[in-house]
Chains A and B, each alone.
Chain A
Amino acid sequence: MDLRARLTRAALARPAVLLATSPGATRERLAVEAELGRRGWPSAAGPASADLLVFAGVPLPLRDDDWAERVWTAVPAPKARVTVTDAEHAAHTLDHGHRTLLTPAAHPAERHETATAAAPDHGPHDSQGSHGGMDHAHHGRPPGTVAGLPLAERAEDRDGLRLDRLHVPLGPALPDWPAGLVLRLELQGDVVRRAEVDPMPTPAASRPAFWSEPWLKALAGEPGTSGEAARRRCAAHLDSLGRFLGVAGWSDAATRARRARDRTLGDAHGEELRPLVHPLVRRVRKSRTLRWLTAGVGELPGGPVAGDAHSRLIGWLDGIEYALDAIGDRTPLADHPLIGPRGRVDDTEAPASRTLLAALPALLAGAEFACARLVVASLDPDLDELAARRAPDGRTHG
């Protein structure tokens, strides 16, 4: 082994992973996150700091925009990418990606590939960095171009100043972001002027949406206990909590929430979970800084998620503690009202996450970028719920 290969091996012993989740791939995402936690591989905040790009679920292009390819070209060499399509094979797939990353033969080709890609050709949407661009094409005629990119036009901002307007798609490959959500933002500075929700189409799934699975099963008449449902609810709220804390910049607490979530899903007893969950819940609940930072953000006057970001957070904390106490419950779930982590689960109404998505544009207009991220994280819509169910016999409904 020559020195170069040995250095690369040492440098990339723990590659930084950028995880991009497709809608409907929650199981795969959770498996990958748990495995990354076990291995101690750091998670990258964006493509520029990543070595290994992991897709949970097959990344489908959004209209004509192959976002997965864009993200891939933005990752600096040496790099590797893998797609996890089966939660059970997450560890194996990560090993495979790591091997590819360390294979010296792969590097010259990769280097060449990025060298050309990093120069002009990012595709029509990637004029602005690696997360999507200033997409002016359908917003009037640009006044000029630089390096083939249109310049930003101006408009009055909230204080009446004429400022550049940037059209930025947000998502789908952002850290702590709902899988499959794309927001079309119009930004002035870091203030959102307008937002449109443009969710990726969720592919028809043969399995029910992961977070509402116990309730959907009960609805279909399958047996299940309230204890199992409580476990799923507890994990779902811990997952939302972890993402919210990640967006709020409290990485220490976010890591704890994720660890507790993985243990909850891993069939640990309620007694084992309490020492993990209770101190975390207590600390988050009592944090005055967090209250100061999130109170008044994304206030909704009514509906199932009324209140501001902080009250929704407290709602999760209550839900976590309540669900934790009910994990041992052996009564059949069908005897209880079918209310999943995000709201009522039934056949007739639209899934709860559709209401959450509908609330977004009004809440985001006028918010600063950081607040916009907090609003999205505090609603945490689950786009898996929007998928049409493909029954085993091939029919779709839902």
Chain B
Amino acid sequence: MAEPAPPWAALVLPLALALVATALATADARSTGPGREVLRLLVQQRRITRAADVPLVRLATTLLPVAAVLAAAVLPLGFRPVSDLPDGIVWFNAMEALAWAAVWLAGWGPNSTLSLIGGYRFLAQGLAYELPHMLAITTAALGAQSLRVGAVADAQAGLWFAVWMPAAFGIYLLSALAMAFWGPFDQPVGRDTAGGAAAELSGVDRLVFLGGRRLLLVVAAAFSVPLFLGGGHGPLLPGWAWTLIKTAAVLGLLLWVRRRVPTVRTERYMELSWVVLTPLAVAQALVVAVVVLKK
């Protein structure tokens, strides 16, 4: 049974996430290191376009990292989350959906066509990934018969959910990329729209928005560990170490995918998502439900 972490963990959590995100950015860096990039954006002037809705833009940029950190509150490091809510999976899903608002507002706020297109794209992408995504995390909850994240991890002391519900795991990884609009799902901030939803952000705004995106990616990847990869369970090493190792492995996989695959356009993914992935996720949930009932 998971016991809640001490209160100071709430303060350490954002720092720990930022640390992992920085490590990821270092592994991903092609020319500029993350430290230098952060410095560059801090030195840069904040600028805003004409007739922009400034409060909306500020809200959008800050909402993204806040959503990521809040979603991470139910993430267990080893077996200890900051807060082990009885319906932690629902909480995670709700916080992650805040990103919809954040990206849409960031696209809408600057009163710029290209950033507006980025906003539209994320909404469409959300429609495409969210349904199979919710079915996938529901399947994990179903397998453990609990919405508590700690209980889901505990249910995998023997067999990982990724092994006996591979379709749900695969769909979850796809939607992790999509919710952080990163890698093959980076169309909302695509280069073809000169940066899309982030096209008009500069300086601190850009840093907070794109930093928030990285946090969201780390949180989404890390959440696959208690959901599908057995949480902190593993031989020899302590639970927190297993969590870190598994998270790093998932992030490494996502990094590899990003290098190998071009950007998936929403309208094509929508088709795949609704015609193939959603029925697949339903079938997976059905199989799991039957197995659980027979136990």
Please judge, given known A-B contacts A49-B206, A128-B111, A249-B187, whether A289 and B46 are in contact too, CB under 8 Å: no
Contacts of B202 in A (CB 8 A): 48-49, 76
Please judge, given known A-B contacts A7-B43, A122-B50, A293-B265, whether A14 and B259 are in contact too, CB under 8 Å: no
Cα distance A25–B159 in the bound complex, in angstroms: 62
The smallest C-beta distance from B262 to any residue of chain A, in angstroms, reads 4
Q: Which residue of A lies closest to B205 (CB)?
A: A48
Q: Is B200 within 8 A of A11, CB to CB?
A: no
Cα distance A397–B68 in the bound complex, in angstroms: 62
Kindly identify which residue among A189, A247, A249 contacts B186, using a CB–CB cutoff of 8 Å.
A249
Interface residue tally for chain B (C-beta within 8 Å) = 51
- Size bracket of the A interface: 35 or more
Q: Which residue of A lies closest to B272 (CB)?
A: A292
Q: Does B294 touch A at the CB level, under 8 Å?
A: no
Q: Is A76 within 8 A of B45, CB to CB?
A: yes
Interface residues of B in 228-271 (CB under 8 A from A): 258-265, 267-268
Cα distance A168–B263 in the bound complex, in angstroms: 24
Q: Does A197 touch B at the CB level, under 8 Å?
A: no
Interface-central residue, A16, A129, A246, A290, by most chain B CB under 10 Å: A129
Give per-residue flags for B101-120: 1 if the beta carbon is below 8 A from chain A beta carbons, else 0.
00000000011111101001
Interface-central residue, A12, A46, A122, A255, by most chain B CB under 10 Å: A46
Q: Does A174 touch B at the CB level, under 8 Å?
A: yes
Give per-residue flags for A166-181: 1 if the beta carbon is below 8 A from chain B beta carbons, else 0.
1010000011100000
Contacts of A149 in B (CB 8 A): 50-51, 111
Cα distance A8–B42 in the bound complex, in angstroms: 10
Kindly identify which residue among B36, B44, B192 contacts A14, using a CB–CB cutoff of 8 Å.
B36
Cα distance A76–B207 in the bound complex, in angstroms: 14
Kindly identify which residue among B184, B258, B265 contacts A370, using a CB–CB cutoff of 8 Å.
B265
Give per-residue flags for B35-67: 1 if the beta carbon is below 8 A from chain A beta carbons, else 0.
010011011111111110000000000000000
Q: Is B39 within 8 A of A76, CB to CB?
A: no
Q: Which residue of B lies closest to A245 (CB)?
A: B262
The smallest C-beta distance from A146 to any residue of chain B, in angstroms, reads 6
Contacts of B114 in A (CB 8 A): 46, 129, 131
Cα distance A48–B121 in the bound complex, in angstroms: 20
The smallest C-beta distance from A1 to any residue of chain B, in angstroms, reads 15
Q: Does A10 touch B at the CB level, under 8 Å?
A: yes
Contacts of A46 in B (CB 8 A): 114, 194-195, 199-200
Contacts of B186 in A (CB 8 A): 249
Please judge, given known A-B contacts A77-B45, A78-B44, A289-B261, whether A249 and B184 are in contact too, CB under 8 Å: yes
Interface residues of A in 280-310 (CB under 8 A from B): 287, 289-290, 292-293
Q: Is A370 within 8 A of B51, CB to CB?
A: no
Q: Does B295 touch A at the CB level, under 8 Å?
A: no
Kindly identify which residue among A49, A190, A247, A252 contacts B259, using a CB–CB cutoff of 8 Å.
A252
Cα distance A247–B47 in the bound complex, in angstroms: 26
- Give the interface of A toward B (CB within 8 A): 7-8, 10-16, 40-42, 45-46, 48-49, 51, 74, 76-78, 111, 114, 118-120, 122, 126-134, 146-149, 166, 168, 174-176, 187, 189-190, 245-253, 255, 287, 289-290, 292-293, 368-371, 373
Given contacts A46-B200, A249-B190, A289-B261, 7 further A-B contacts (CB under 8 A): A46-B199, A48-B206, A129-B110, A129-B200, A251-B191, A292-B268, A293-B268
